[in-house]
Amino acid sequence: QVQLVESGGGLVQPGESLRLSCVAHGIAFNRYTMGWYRQAPGKQRDLVATITSNGNTNYADSVKGRFTISRDNAKNTVYLQMDSLKPEDTAVYYCNGRYSVLQYWGQGTQVTVSS
d(CA 84, CA 18): 9
d(CA 85, CA 76): 26
pLDDT tens track, the chain, 115 positions: 999 999 999 999 999 999 999 999 999 999 999 999 999 999 999 999 999 999 999 999 999 999 999 999 999 999 999 999 999 999 999 999 999 999 999 999 999 999 9
- pLDDT value for 66: 98
Measured between its terminal Cα atoms, the distance across the chain in Å is 40
- pLDDT value for 84: 98
- pLDDT value for 42: 94
- pLDDT value for 93: 98
Inter-residue contact 49 to 69 (CB < 8 Å):
yes
